[in-house]
């Protein structure tokens, strides 16, 4: 267990309360005799798991919510929505029958017998099987696309189907809509052919082909649904609905999901060294990586089909219909353990290949940089996908150290300014973001953290040295969350650089989570436990100016609108999100002279944005799309074609405007040239080159570069003092 919590170790003033975690575990598992060992009775085990999670929520969650009948009703509703978000699987009589359980969730959490999932799952399976018969029957006959009727795609506005007849009609419209989409595409392709061409087909033939394609899609979809409605999977969904009702970032991770989360944080995992792809419901080997187990075996090749996966001598699991992510979770495991793959070769032969898992390093998910040459200036560009940290290894990857190394490389290239791209960076290690801010400021507060008791702690950068003192611009968008927001907020509060956003605010996640293991340790090398873990919200963080990043996010200094601006995906759009508030400002100083000069650049650049016709068109197009894509879709062929023409032309216009007509001049630092252009792993080198080409044509990077040039020309001198 000690090894499991090494990642929680205290470094440079960030104190992780390990004792608190163990206190929770003891309270939940020892005092309540919960999960002390595996039971043969599945319901009994699930019951104990649910009770232990309830204890954590009520005793240790930041908001300590009251789990009562009101809470139960919300969970009950959300669980049914999770199982049937389009409201076309269950019918209202099912919902009425389930109503007797809507006040029972809190009883189950407090130890009552489990009734909700067992009762709902049996009906759910029945309705799924009935639905398969419904769509197959619908697709057996041609559609009439001259009838003027609508299909509602905004499922939030729907109630559950009133009865069987209403359900069948909803499915008829859904299937008709899916067929119409493909029929119109086929008509468009036929328009390019001559009527004498052998590939030319009649309207009736194209309609039949469209239905055949929809049949394949539906069969594949429901095959995946059937894979996912085992009792264990439904129960895990139920538990996560409970935790997410408390707040969107409190989650339950079953053991496999917990391992996947740890892998994403550390950039390391134990697997076979092969890339997978899903095609028509089957999992194929896309490529094998030289030097790793799959390659060393000499028995696995690209295009081999993985039929089954077995853990050592256990029974094999048929993965037909699995998503790649789910197949990967089965193939990965603990170092040195055996995984047996049933492989179907391209010549039709089937064989079982035994592999011993080894450590795979995901260095492609780490930070990378490039050098921008624009208007006679040389500038550094750093892309950070997330705030990763591998605390279990002394030499494990740390994003702050990696960013520091990129800064050193770019300084050696004599760049005059830096762009740090945090777009779509979902966050990660709180420790790492504090260290990263410290690369750009002198010692001082970076973020404030408040616990459930109201105690506020200030996390400081304690290193007085500043690695990079030059002009800085930080790019964010609506998907930049958590640690990304802490970084952007600190840079903004210190007036250390300009924050450029493609949305009016970042995501708005201002809460801190901790993983709390459940059950006995089953692998001390990784700290994995038999029942997974709960990722529990136990703190909120605040900017050093006192405001929370929760709900509101960080408002950029300059906004470059993109197509996502009006979509509902941020924290503020989640009904279960914790509220915004503020606390007292931390004690920090800024260079007022530098701040004044920075504000002048921001004001000037805002005027440039206002007059930027390209950005204004994208803004108006995004607003139009947001308003129109929620409207019911006409199933009349001519009306549908007319509407789709408008949608496609608008989307195409945004795509065209977002892509530069001529690529920027972007190179890589000398130490990186081999990684990009003479990589021993050819496929990896090609992926690096593809990334480089992508940023060369990014209009938002070029626009941000122009702002950085303005900042460079201002020649702002920072004193870097908090005294």
Residues with active-site annotation: 482, 493, 509
Pairing mode of beta strands 418-421, 472-476: parallel
Cα–Cα nearest to 309, from 260, 271, 264: 271
Helix (H, G, I), strand (E, B) or coil at 176: helix
CA–CA dist 266, 282 (Å, integer): 29
Determine the length of the chain. 723
Q: What is the dihedral sign for C-alpha 344, 345, 350, 351? A: negative
Cα–Cα nearest to 54, from 76, 32, 37: 32
CA distances in angstroms from 408 to 405, 415, 473, 544, 708, listed in the order given: 5, 10, 17, 28, 19
Backbone angles phi, psi at 2, to 5 degrees: -60, -40
Cα–Cα nearest to 101, from 128, 82, 80, 81: 80
CA–CA dist 438, 538 (Å, integer): 25
Q: Answer whether 467's CB lies under 8 Å from 442's CB.
A: no
Q: Which two tokens mark 310?
A: 């077995």
Cα–Cα nearest to 536, from 233, 246, 110, 239: 246
Q: Answer whether 439's CB lies under 8 Å from 384's CB.
A: no
Q: Give all strands (DSSP E) within 157-291, no chain letters.
A: 251-253, 268-271, 274-279, 282-288
DSSP H helical ranges for 450-537: 483-493
Token pair 């009935």: residue: 130
C-alpha 721: how far from chain center: 38
């Amino acid at each position: 267990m000690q090894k499991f919590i090494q990642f929680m170790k205290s470094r440079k003033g960030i104190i992780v309360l390990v004792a608190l975690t163990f206190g929770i575990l003891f309270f939940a598992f020892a005092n309540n005799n919960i999960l002390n060992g595996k039971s043969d009775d599945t319901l009994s085990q699930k019951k104990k798991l649910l009770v232990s999670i309830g204890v954590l929520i009520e005793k240790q969650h930041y908001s300590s919510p009251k789990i009562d009948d009101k809470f139960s009703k919300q969970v009950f509703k959300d669980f049914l929505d999770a199982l049937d978000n389009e409201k076309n699987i269950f019918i209202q009589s099912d919902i009425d029958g389930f109503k007797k359980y809507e006040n029972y969730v809190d009883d189950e959490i407090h130890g009552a017998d489990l009734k909700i999932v067992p009762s709902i799952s049996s009906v759910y399976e029945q309705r799924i099987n009935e639905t398969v018969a419904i769509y197959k029957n619908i697709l057996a006959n041609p559609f009439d696309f001259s009838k003027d009727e609508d299909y509602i795609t905004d499922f939030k506005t729907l109630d559950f189907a009133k009865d069987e007849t209403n359900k069948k009609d909803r499915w008829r419209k859904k299937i008709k809509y899916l067929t119409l989409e493909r029929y119109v595409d086929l008509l468009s392709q036929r328009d390019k052919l001559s009527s004498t061409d052998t590939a030319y087909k009649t309207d009736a033939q194209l309609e039949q082909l469209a239905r055949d394609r929809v049949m394949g899609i539906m069969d594949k979809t429901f095959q995946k649904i059937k894979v996912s409605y085992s009792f264990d999977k439904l129960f895990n969904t139920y538990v996560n609905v409970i935790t997410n009702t408390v707040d969107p970032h409190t989650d339950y991770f079953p053991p496999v999901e917990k391992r996947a989360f740890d892998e994403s944080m550390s950039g390391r995992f134990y697997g076979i060294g092969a890339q997978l792809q899903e095609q028509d419901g089957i999992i194929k080997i896309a490529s094998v990586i030289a030097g790793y187990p799959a390659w060393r075996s000499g028995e696995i090749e690209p295009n081999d089909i993985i039929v089954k996966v077995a853990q050592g001598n256990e029974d094999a699991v048929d993965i037909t219909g699995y998503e790649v992510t789910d197949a990967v979770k089965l193939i990965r495991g603990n170092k040195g353990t055996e995984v047996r793959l049933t492989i179907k070769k391209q010549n039709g032969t089937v064989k079982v290949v035994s592999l011993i898992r080894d450590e795979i390093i995901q260095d492609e998910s780490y930070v990378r940089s490039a050098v921008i040459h624009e208007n006679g200036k040389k500038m550094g560009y750093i892309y950070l996908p997330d705030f990763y940290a591998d605390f279990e290894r002394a030499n494990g990857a740390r994003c702050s150290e990696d960013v520091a190394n990129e800064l050193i490389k770019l300084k050696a290239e004599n760049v005059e300014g830096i762009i740090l791209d945090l777009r779509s960076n979902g966050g990660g290690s709180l420790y790492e973001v504090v260290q990263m801010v410290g690369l750009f400021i002198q010692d001082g507060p970076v973020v404030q953290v408040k616990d459930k008791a109201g105690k506020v702690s200030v996390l400081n950068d304690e290193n007085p040295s500043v690695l990079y003192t030059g002009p800085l611009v930080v790019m964010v968008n609506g998907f930049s969350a958590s640690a990304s927001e802490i970084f952007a907020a600190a840079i903004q509060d210190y007036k250390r650089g300009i924050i450029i956003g493609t949305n009016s605010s970042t995501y708005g996640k201002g809460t801190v989570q901790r993983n709390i293991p459940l059950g006995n340790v089953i692998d001390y090398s990784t700290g994995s436990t038999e029942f997974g873990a709960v990722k529990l919200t136990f703190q909120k963080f605040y900017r050093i100016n006192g405001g929370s990043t929760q709900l509101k996010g960080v408002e950029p200094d300059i906004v470059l609108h993109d197509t996502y601006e009006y979509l509902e995906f941020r924290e503020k759009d989640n009904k279960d999100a914790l509220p915004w508030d503020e606390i007292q400002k931390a004690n920090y100083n800024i260079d007022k002279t530098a701040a004044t000069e920075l504000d002048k650049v921001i004001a000037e650049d805002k005027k440039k944005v206002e007059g930027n016709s390209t950005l204004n068109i994208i803004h108006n197009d995004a607003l139009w799309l947001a308003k129109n894509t929620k409207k019911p879709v006409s199933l009349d062929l001519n009306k549908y074609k007319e509407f789709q023409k408008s949608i496609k032309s608008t989307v195409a216009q945004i795509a065209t405007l977002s892509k530069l007509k001529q690529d920027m001049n972007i190179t890589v630092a000398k130490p990186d040239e081999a990684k990009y252009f003479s990589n021993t792993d050819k496929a990896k080198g090609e992926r690096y080159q593809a990334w480089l080409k992508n940023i060369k044509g990014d209009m938002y990077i070029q626009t941000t570069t122009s702002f950085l040039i303005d900042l460079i020309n201002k020649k702002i001198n920072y004193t870097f003092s908090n005294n």
